[in-house]
Amino acid sequence: MNKTNMINEIATTYTLTTNTSTDEDAYNDAMNKYRYEQNQYDQKIQEINSKLEIIQQQDKSLELNLKQLDTEENAISTEMEAVKKVISKNVESSFKTFNA
How many domains in the chain?
Answer: 1
Task: Tell me if 37 is assigned to some domain.
Answer: yes
What is the full DSSP assignment across 74-98? HHHHHHHHHHHHHHHHHHHHHHHHH
Domain that holds residue 55: 25-90
Task: Tell me if 12 is assigned to some domain.
Answer: no
Per-residue confidence band for 93, with pLDDT thresholds at 50, 70 and 90: confident
Whole-model pTM above 0.85?
A: no
pLDDT digits (tens, 9 = 90+) for 56-70: 999 999 999 999 999
Residue 1: which residues within 8 A CB-CB, separation 6 or more?
A: 9
